[in-house]
Amino acid sequence: MSQLAVLLLAVFLLFSVIGFYTDLIADGRMPYLDVLAIAFISGLNAVLWVYAVSRLPSISIVALIVAQFFIGAFDGFVTRLLDSVFHPVAPSPSAGLHFAATCILVAIVLSYICFIRFMGITGRETMRIRNELELAQGIQKTLVPPLHRTTASFEIYGISEPSERVGGDLVDVVELSGGDCVAYLADIAGHGLQAGILMGMLKTAARTALTDGGGTDQEAILSTLMHRLNLVLPQVKEAHMYATFTALRLNGDGQSFFGMAASTPLLHWRADQGNMLRIEEQQFPLGLLPVPHFPASRLGMEAGDIVVIATDGILEVNSAERSAQGAEFGIEALETLVTENATLPLPELAAMILRTVRSFGKQLDDQTLLLVRRRTVQFDDPQTGDRAALPVPAAAQ
C-alpha cells in the first residue's frame, strides 16, 4: 500500500487537471471553490479506477463504468450545494483563467514528481527481487546440477532445465554402501520459487532417509524412502502441493529395482530384443494423502539396456502448429526417439531429446530427464590378448 499510495497521489494530481480545464472552457468564470471541487472529484474518480483494477473484484469495474454516466450530474450537484452553503463569488475572467492555468501547471509538476518517486520505489524493489531470483537460480544450479555417474554396472545421466529461473524438478544420485546407489527423479507440482524451495527440502529429506536407511534391503529401501518422504512433505508444504517420484536402486552386481509414485511412465529399452517396454504404476503422489505403502519391484536390465524417465514438462509440450486443437509431444514420440538413438552416449541422447522437444513446442514447464544404461565390462582375453566386452553379470534371481 505504501508504494500504491504514491501512484494513487500521482494519478489524483494528473486527473485533477480536468476540473481546471472545465474552468478554462468556462472562460475562468467559475468560483474557485467550485473549480477545486470538480478537480477533487475528477482526481478521486481516477484513483478509484486504479485501485479497483489493482485490488478489487472485477464487478467493481462494472460499477465504475456505470458511475461515469452520472459523474457530470454529480459535479453539478456538488457545486450547487457548495454555492448554497458558502455563496462563493465568481472571479473576473482574467483572474479565473490565471488561477486555472496556474493550478494545471502545479498539478502536472507535482504529478510528475510523484510518478518519478513511484518508479524509483518500484525500480529498487524490482532490482531486489531480481537479485534474490539470481541468488535462487544459483542455489538451483547447486541443488540440481547435470549429473553423470558411472558405477561398476551402470551409467547414469540426469539433467534438469527449469522453465523459469527456479524450477521444481529434481534429479539426483545417492551412493550407498557396497557400490550400490539410488537414482531418483522428482517433480514438484507447479514451478517457480515456491516449487524450488520444496524441491530443496525434498532433496535434503531424500538424502537423509537414504543415509539412515542402510543399503542392504534391496527394493525395500525404495518403499521406505517414498514412505518417509510422504510423511515429511505435508509438514513443510502448502496443502495443494505434492511431488511425483520415480526411484531406481542400482546395485554393483547388476541388479536393479524401481519404485514409482504417480510419475510418468518408465521406459525400458531392451537391447537384446531391440524394443521398448513401458512400465506404469497407479499410485498416489508424495505428500498428498496418508498412503500406507509404496511398492517397489525388480527391474531386469541386461547389458546395453536403457531406462528413460522424463517429467511431464517434456511429454506435455504442446504444438498448436501441428493441429487445430494442439498436439502434445507424448510418450510414443519419446519411445520412438529413444529406440532410434539408443546407441548414442547418454549425454548426447538426452541433448537430442531436449532439442527435439523444444523444436516441437514452447517450453512451459520444467523439463527433466534421468537416463540409466546397463554397462558392459572390458577384459583381456587370456588366450588371444585381445580386448573384449562382457556383460556385467546380474546376481542370481
Alpha-carbon span 15 to 68, nearest angstrom:
14
Q: For residues 171 and 292, state if they share a domain.
A: yes
Work out the average pLDDT over 19-47: 95
Q: For residues 10 and 109, state if they share a domain.
A: yes
Total number of domains constituting the chain: 2
Residue 387 belongs to what H/E stretch? strand 387-391
Could you tell me if residue 33 is inside a domain?
Answer: yes
Q: Are 50 and 11 in contact (CB under 8 A)?
A: yes
Alpha-carbon span 395 to 393, nearest angstrom:
6
- CA terminus-to-terminus distance, the chain: 67
Alpha-carbon span 35 to 43, nearest angstrom:
12
Of the listed ranges 75-84, 260-269, 285-294, 315-324, the least confidently predicted one is 315-324
Look at residues 75, 100, 135 and tell me which one is the last residue of a structural domain. Answer: 135
What is the average pLDDT value for the chain, to the nearest integer?
A: 88
Alpha-carbon span 226 to 255, nearest angstrom:
20
Q: For residues 118 and 254, state if they share a domain.
A: no
SS3 247: strand
User: Is 50 exceeded by the pLDDT of residue 396?
Assistant: no
Q: For residues 127 and 203, state if they share a domain.
A: no
Q: For residues 58 and 166, state if they share a domain.
A: no
Q: For residues 228 and 367, state if they share a domain.
A: yes
Handedness of CA 380, 386, 392, 394 (dihedral sign): negative
Work out the average pLDDT over 372-391: 62
- Closest C-alpha among 275, 272, 279, 307 to residue 391: 272
Residue 195 belongs to what H/E stretch? helix 193-213
Q: pLDDT tens, 164-201?
A: 777 889 999 999 877 899 999 999 987 677 888 889 89
SS3 90: coil
CATH number for the domain including 345? 3.60.40.10
Q: Residue 360's pLDDT band (boundaries 50, 70, 90)?
A: very high
Residue 101 burial class via C-beta count within 10 angstroms: exposed 0-12, middle 13-18, buried 19 and up: middle
User: Is 70 exceeded by the pLDDT of residue 309?
Assistant: yes
Q: For residues 190 and 77, state if they share a domain.
A: no
DSSP 316: T
**Amino acid 321: pLDDT:** 54
Q: For residues 321 and 247, state if they share a domain.
A: yes
Could you tell me if residue 397 is inside a domain?
Answer: no
Work out the average pLDDT over 346-358: 96
Q: For residues 324 and 342, state if they share a domain.
A: yes
Of the listed ranges 137-141, 289-293, 311-315, the least confidently predicted one is 137-141
Of the listed ranges 29-38, 51-60, 106-115, 315-324, the least confidently predicted one is 315-324
Give every CB contact of residue 254 below 8 A, 6+ residues apart in sequence.
Answer: 153, 301, 374, 392, 393, 394, 395
Q: For residues 66 and 154, state if they share a domain.
A: no
Segments forming the whole domain that contains residue 385:
145-391
Work out the average pLDDT over 79-101: 94
Q: How many helices (H) and strands (E) does the chain have?
A: 11, 15
Q: For residues 122 and 149, state if they share a domain.
A: no
User: Is 50 exceeded by the pLDDT of residue 394?
Assistant: no
Look at residues 90, 109, 135 and tell me which one is the last residue of a structural domain. Answer: 135
Q: For residues 64 and 110, state if they share a domain.
A: yes
**Amino acid 320: pLDDT:** 58
Of the listed ranges 122-131, 156-165, 248-257, 279-288, the least confidently predicted one is 122-131
Percent of the chain predicted with pLDDT > 90? 68
Could you tell me if residue 396 is inside a domain?
Answer: no
Look at residues 111, 135, 159 and tell me which one is the last residue of a structural domain. Answer: 135
Of the listed ranges 134-138, 155-159, 218-222, 392-396, the least confidently predicted one is 392-396
Q: pLDDT tens, 269-291?
A: 999 999 999 999 888 999 999 99
Could you tell me if residue 68 is inside a domain?
Answer: yes
**Amino acid 359: pLDDT:** 92
